[in-house]
Every structure is written in structure tokens, then in C-alpha cells.
Structure 1
Amino acid sequence: MNKKCLKAVLVIMLFFIMLLNNLIVPYNLFKRNSNNGVNNPAQEIKKASVTLWSYMTEGNISVVAISADGQYIAAGSEDKNIYVFDRSSSTPLWNYSTGNLVRSVSISADGQYIVAGSEDKNLYIFDRSSSTPLWDYTNGERVSSVAISADGEYIAAGAYDGNGDADFNIANIEGSYGLGVQTGDWIPSVSISADGQYFAAGSWDHKVYIIERWGNFDWSYTTGGRVNSVAFSADGRYIAAGSSDNMTYLFYNNYPPDPPYNPSPSDEATSVSNSPLLRVNVSDQDGDPMTVRFYDAFDDSPIGVNTSVASGEIASILWSGLSDGTIYSWYVVADDGMETTQSPIWSFKTNTLPNAPINPYPSDGMTGLSTSPLLKVDVIDLDGDSMEVRFYDASTDTLIGTDVDIINGSSASFNWSGLSESTIYSWYTVADDGKNITQSATWTFETEYKDDTPAIPGYLPMVLTSILLISLAGLTLYLRRRIDFNFQ
């Protein structure tokens, strides 16, 4: 085949390919259009271009916001007005006139609350049902940016005085308002995490600022240019920021551990063992495992540490070698590897030993005791603890018996039976308040001697004496008669 024929064949093949392509594309479009408009690009564009309504104000619209369900819309205008709409009508539900152009508006997820910032140096809070502000706050600076949390409970605002100072302020819906942090320049953007726990601000001083609820400064990051915009992810874990250095930044917002709670011993507990097991509950919103350190609050010296404690679990450490009847204080620090949180300081008083049992009966050295004496002692515990009192044979240290639930200042007793006569015994007691024990002195007593010979009646000696006298008299008379008889 020569070159001319080959070129002709190629031209014919190219013609058929183009013809086939023109036939296939209309067929595919026809198939999409015939499926009730599904996946029809032309229809999708047409739907997106439908204007439900529009509303003209007397100035440029500088900012708009819409509720999560699209039901309510708020707009701020350079005509100094705040406008609130229901999507069903282009007629505003109401409008409110401020003293200057409205720089920023924000609306809660359910559309219930609207917050607006104006260059009249005021921050305004509205319920959508009324054009009368729930409250407004004048801070002496132009309000450049505002945000409201999804639940409508917390508000953030950026304000600028035009002289190089700007305030990043936070508030709650009831109107408690305060300074979060001061920045070095205009704050064009603020944002709040969905749970209202964290607040972010972007400033023209090149920094991104993060503060915790009620103004506790968390951290800041310096970019290479003016920060024009900041935003939180829905879960509050990530923060995005855009800067005039042509960079987009993404930050991970670690939640610190919650303050350790539910201490044992409880705060201001008394009668605590002198080797107590310290225990606390720990939790972390991120679910991070924690290192939990226990400290003596008196000198901040470490008591001990638990590692890899899971969120929601209990950390514990034994604090041994404490003195009796002494007040101790302690605290705990939970560390998730990125941030730490310290607990409050708690205190407790160690147990005071029971006093040594006193006032024994039988008293020490007593004699003539029965072979089943009732042993008794008085016991005292300065903590007011009830006690168990144990009685022991001192010669063998064997237990004689126990008296329980003896209250402070009362007596304990036990009957020691089966003793031998005329025998010396020794004994002691131990008072136990459940935490400590105290032993008494050792005491002795002697049991009595019992003569088993039958007793002689009291009258018998007289009878015997009389019999003896009579017998002697009779014998004397007999002897006299014998003598007289012999002489005769």
C-alpha cells in the first residue's frame, strides 16, 4: 500500500470516530434526562439558580449568617441595620438600627439567638422573636467580628480601637462579659467550638489565639502574615486558619485532662489510717491515657505516680509512714502527654491512737478474787471512734475474750472463768479503733483459798464442853468414893 492510500484510510477512520462520538454523547444525555432528571447537570444548574426571594436595603450588605436548618437568616448592612428573615418571606421579621455600619453577625444553630457587632462600638444580642436586644455591651472599641456557639450559650467578639490595640472578648447568653485576651491588631475573625468550650480568634498581629471558656488563655501561634479567618471543626478538635502569608494552617486542639475528682480520703476526713491509700477518679475528653502524679501539698514533694491510667478509671497510691493525729494535705496532677491539669488541694487528719485502757478491775495486786472474776477497764478515744477491746492472759498472751462497739469514755468487760484457787494471774487489754491499737499495762490479782472442811455448828463446842465438865465431875465423884471406900 502506497503512502497516498494509507493517508486516505487514516482520514476515513478519523471521520468515523468523530461521527460515532457525536452519536454516543446525545444518547447518554437522553438516558440521563429520561431518568426523572437524576444526574442531569442542566437541571441541577437550573435548580441552583432559582431565587426564592431578595430584599434590598439602603446600603451594602456587609455580612450574612444562616441557621443550621436554613430557616432563619440574619444580615448586617452598611445602612446601620440588622435584619432578620424567615426563609418563607422576603419581608424581614424585624430590623434594628445601630449607630454605625454592622460589621459582623452570627446566628445559633436553631436560629433562636442572633449576635451582631457594629462599628458603633456595641455588641448586640437578640432573641429572634423581638427586635429589642436581650442586652448590648459597649466596650469602647469597634466590634469587628462576632460568633455564637451552636447551642446559643456562648458568644465571642473581636474589637479594635484603631490605635493598635484589640480585645478578644467572650460572654454567655445571660450577659456575663469579660476580656479573653488582648491582641496587637484588628481581629477580623472569631470562632467557637460547638460545645462552647474553646474560642478562637485570628488577628492582624499575625497570631491565632485559642482561649478556654471564661477567658483562660490556652495557646497562640504566630503565622507569617495577617490572620484573616479562623474556623473550628464541628467537634472542636481542629482549627483552620488563613493568613496573608498565603498559607492555610490546620491545628489540633487537644483537650487537657479534666481536674481529678472524687478523692479518697475525702477532703477534711478524720480518723484516717497512718498508711492511707490515696485514690482519685480521672477523665480526659479526648480519651487519652494519663500519667497521674500524687504530691504532698506541704512541700510539693512527690508521693507516687500511676502511669497509663485510662479515662474514667481510678488512680491510687499508698502514702505510708504518716504520724498519728496529724493533718496532711495533698493534690494530684493528670498528664495526657500534651497538657496537665491539677486537682484542688485536699486534706485529712490521721487517726489518733486510742488511749491506753485504765481503771482495771480487779485492781492491780488485788487478792481474794473468785475463780470467775469479771474483768473491766475504761477506754477513751480522742477521735470519738468506737472500739473493740480484747482481754489477754499475760502469762501466755492468749485471748481471754472480746467486748465490741465500746464507745468513747465507757467501760469494756469480760468474765474470766475457770480459774484455780489461791493462784496469781496476770492480764492486759488492747483497745482497737479499727485503724490503730493501744495496749494497756499488765495487772495481777490472786484468787481466794476455799476450805472444803464441813463447818462446825456454833453450839457444838458448848455442848462438848458441858459433856466434858459433866464427865470430869462424874469421874471426880467416882474417884472420891473409891478413896473413901478404901479407907473404910
Structure 2
Amino acid sequence: NWIELSLSPSGSHLATSAWNDNTAFVFDVSTGEQIAALKHSTNVNGISYPPSGKFIATGCDDKKVYLWEAPAEDPQPKVATRNFTSGTITKQRKGTRRCHGKVYCVRYSPSGDRIASGADSVQIWNAETGSGILSIRNSSVYSVAWTADGTHVIGGREAEVTIWNSHSGEQLRTWKAHNDNWITLSLSPSGTHLATFNCTDTAFVFDVSTGEQITALKHSVDVYGIAYSPSGQFIATGCDDKKVYLWEAPAEDPPAKVSFVFVAFMHSLPNELTAYPVVRTTIFFIARCRYPNLCFPNYHS
């Protein structure tokens, strides 16, 4: 069971979802205590906090994105659904939106005013009103990332990466990143480089402006997670050998090389990685693991 994570902007709450579980949870980071359970009727595949921390978006097998009020102290959150087909908002809970297929991922824009969802297409919604802004029909999109200025959205498709203008839907460029399979993305903080993997033994780094491959991060086993550090100096990969590798991120010409200063041995297989700054001199990598009892036991089974 793969667990998706989204940390609240304050760093105090952690929202989690699992691909074969119809309930998402919110935990207190300092104690590991469950704060809220966000119950759905189908599996929850994606989860995301906005910069404001006021809401939580979830994407599900029922072709809908749900918007929830994020819990503050004690209260249980209320869910809202927004209908993606009509673009209307139904304030029964907090809102649902119907998409063009099973929703694989959801991401708030850097400013928090829009939500991008990846399904059989990329759809962008007004986070406040629930109205549809843009629908880009293409092929299934399994991972999305926003550029820092919010002007473009990047989609990881089957074997390809595509960049669209988030306002007009114009396709900026598409390039083949892997031979096949789903692609998962991590954009560098500067927005110039894009790291990708697709559950094979090699991850890649591309130049966003050209689609040119900059370097290949070769492993002896399959890669299940990738993340840039907040500084952009390092790339972490989580692998099938139960290890997390830290690589020097490529600058101009030099190839990336593995840093043996940071090779962490996991009790289980890390399927995805997210990097969070903890203090000014420390980078904290959270491994999204196949076995949830590494983090919070008994909630995602």
C-alpha cells in the first residue's frame, strides 16, 4: 500500500492518503496522533495542502477532486465537493469536482488560488469558487508540478513529460523521458531542472527550457521515489534495495554523482520521497513507504 504525504505549510500537520484506502488522515507531526479522518466512498490517490493551509484537496478513483476544510485544533473537518464537469460547487461538505477519469494526483498552485488535477487530462480549477479554468485533453497524467511563478504546469505522462501554459493551455513542449510506464516528477527550486523516475533502475534530470537530458542517475535496482532538496543542491532517490541515495544535483556540465555521505538503510521499500527544510542547516527527507507502519501504524492497512 503506497502512502502519499502532504505537509501543512506550518509543518504542524501531516495529511496522508493510500492508493487502496478510501480514507485519508491528518496527523499531528509532533506526536503522531490522528487529528482527523477524511472519509470517501472510493480510493484516495492524491492529497495536497495549499500555501494557506486552510484546505486539503484529495483526488479519488470516482473521478472527483474533493476539497476539505483543514482541521485547526480539535474540530473534525467538513468536506466540500466540486463538480468538475459542470464547474459548479456544491457546499454540502466543502466541495467536489468531477474529472475526466480516475484522479491520480492533485496539486495546489504556489499562490494557492488554483488546483491542478491529473487524470485522463489535466484540469485546472479556481480553488475559491470551484469554477473550471482550463481543461487540457491529452493522455493520462500521473504526476503534476507547478513552476514557481504558477505560469506553467508540468505533467508526467506515460513515458513523456509535457509542459503547458497554465492560463491558455498552450503546449510549450513535450519530450520522451523514459521508455514506458508512469512518470513521477520533482522540479528543482529554481525551476530550471526536472528530475524524473518511472520505477526502473535509472532516474533522469532534464533541462526544463529545452527538454534535453542533463544526466542519468543510475542505480543497481529500481527507483521508487525522487526529491530535490530545498536548496536545489541535492537529489534524493529511494530504491528497491531499501536505501535512500543522496546525489549532487547537476549544475551546468558536470554529471551528478552519488554522495556516500548519505545512504540511508530503510526497514522497507521507499516508494516516494519528499524533502522538507527542518532547520537552516538540515534537510529532512520523508520516505513514502509501501508499508505504512514505518510512520503511523494502524491507520492505513
Give the shorter-chain TM-score range: 0.5 to 0.7
In the alignment, which residue of structure 1 is the partner of 2:234? Answer: 198
Whole-Å separation in 2 of the counterparts to 1:135 and 1:95: 17
Code of the aligned partner of 1:206:
K
Q: Deviations over 1:135-188 (max 9, x none)?
A: 22113232431122344333211124xxxx332111233123233312345544
Whole-Å separation in 2 of the counterparts to 1:94 and 1:229: 29
In the alignment, which residue of structure 1 is the partner of 2:63? Answer: none
- In structure 2, the gaps of 5 or more residues are 1-71, 81-90, 296-301
Aligned pair count reads 201
In the alignment, which residue of structure 1 is the partner of 2:193? Answer: 154
Code of the aligned partner of 1:83:
Q
Kindly state the Cα deviation for residue 117 of structure 1 after the two structures are TM-superposed. Answer: 0.8
Code of the aligned partner of 1:172:
D
In the alignment, which residue of structure 2 is the partner of 1:56? Answer: 98
Code of the aligned partner of 1:93:
I
Shift of the 166–41 alpha-carbon distance from structure 1 to 2, 3 Å rule, reads: closer
Kindly state the Cα deviation for residue 52 of structure 1 after the two structures are TM-superposed. Answer: 5.1
Kindly state the Cα deviation for residue 238 of structure 1 after the two structures are TM-superposed. Answer: 2.4
Code of the aligned partner of 1:173:
V
In the alignment, which residue of structure 2 is the partner of 1:117? Answer: 156
**Counterparts of residues 334-483 of structure 1 (less than 5 Å):** none
In the alignment, which residue of structure 1 is the partner of 2:24? Answer: none
Q: Does 1:230 align with 2:230?
A: no
Kindly state the Cα deviation for residue 213 of structure 1 after the two structures are TM-superposed. Answer: 2.2
Name the structure where helix makes up a greater proportion of residues. Answer: 1
Do the aligned residues in 1 keep the contact of 2:126 with 2:132 (CA within 8 Å)? yes
Q: Deviations over 1:309-356 (max 9, x none)?
A: xxxxxxxxxxxxxxxxxxxxxxxxxxxxxxxxxxxxxxxxxxxxxxxx
In the alignment, which residue of structure 1 is the partner of 2:132? Answer: 92
In the alignment, which residue of structure 1 is the partner of 2:172? Answer: 134
Q: Deviations over 1:216-261 (max 9, x none)?
A: 123344434311221212366222224446546xxxxxxxxxxxxx
Shift of the 76–217 alpha-carbon distance from structure 1 to 2, 3 Å rule, reads: same
Code of the aligned partner of 1:92:
G
Whole-Å separation in 1 of the counterparts to 2:221 and 2:181: 12
Q: Deviations over 1:334-382 (max 9, x none)?
A: xxxxxxxxxxxxxxxxxxxxxxxxxxxxxxxxxxxxxxxxxxxxxxxxx
Do the aligned residues in 1 keep the contact of 2:134 with 2:169 (CA within 8 Å)? yes
What is the percent sequence identity of the aligned residues?
17
Name the structure where strand makes up a greater proportion of residues. Answer: 2
Whole-Å separation in 2 of the counterparts to 1:244 and 1:124: 28
In the alignment, which residue of structure 2 is the partner of 1:174? Answer: 209
TM-score, normalised relative to structure 2: 0.56
The alignment partner of 2:174 has SS state of strand
Q: Deviations over 1:80-125 (max 9, x none)?
A: 21122232443432222333x3221122344233221112x10112
In the alignment, which residue of structure 2 is the partner of 1:103? Answer: 142
Do the aligned residues in 2 keep the contact of 1:184 with 1:204 (CA within 8 Å)? no
The alignment partner of 1:142 has SS state of coil
Do the aligned residues in 1 keep the contact of 2:230 with 2:283 (CA within 8 Å)? no
Code of the aligned partner of 1:238:
F
- In structure 1, the gaps of 5 or more residues are 1-39, 249-488
Code of the aligned partner of 1:198:
F
The alignment partner of 2:116 has SS state of strand
Whole-Å separation in 1 of the counterparts to 2:257 and 2:283: 17
In the alignment, which residue of structure 1 is the partner of 2:246? Answer: 210
Shift of the 132–68 alpha-carbon distance from structure 1 to 2, 3 Å rule, reads: closer
Code of the aligned partner of 1:229:
E
Compute the RMSD of aligned alpha carbons. 3.1
The alignment partner of 1:233 has SS state of strand
Whole-Å separation in 1 of the counterparts to 2:183 and 2:142: 6
TM-score, normalised relative to structure 1: 0.37
In the alignment, which residue of structure 1 is the partner of 2:55? Answer: none
Do the aligned residues in 2 keep the contact of 1:108 with 1:149 (CA within 8 Å)? no
Whole-Å separation in 2 of the counterparts to 1:135 and 1:106: 15
**Counterparts of residues 231-250 of structure 1 (less than 5 Å):** 231-234=274-277, 237-244=283-290, 246-247=293-294
Shift of the 74–186 alpha-carbon distance from structure 1 to 2, 3 Å rule, reads: farther
In the alignment, which residue of structure 2 is the partner of 1:183? Answer: 219
Kindly state the Cα deviation for residue 133 of structure 1 after the two structures are TM-superposed. Answer: 2.6
In the alignment, which residue of structure 1 is the partner of 2:68? Answer: none
Greater relative contact order (Cα 8 A, min sep 6): structure 1 or 2?
2
Whole-Å separation in 2 of the counterparts to 1:108 and 1:69: 11
Whole-Å separation in 2 of the counterparts to 1:113 and 1:155: 13
Code of the aligned partner of 1:141:
D
Kindly state the Cα deviation for residue 208 of structure 1 after the two structures are TM-superposed. Answer: 1.6
In the alignment, which residue of structure 1 is the partner of 2:49? Answer: none
The alignment partner of 2:268 has SS state of coil
Whole-Å separation in 2 of the counterparts to 1:130 and 1:194: 29
Kindly state the Cα deviation for residue 131 of structure 1 after the two structures are TM-superposed. Answer: 1.8
Q: Which has the larger radius of gyration?
A: 1
Code of the aligned partner of 1:171:
F
Whole-Å separation in 1 of the counterparts to 2:141 and 2:234: 25
Do the aligned residues in 1 keep the contact of 2:79 with 2:95 (CA within 8 Å)? no
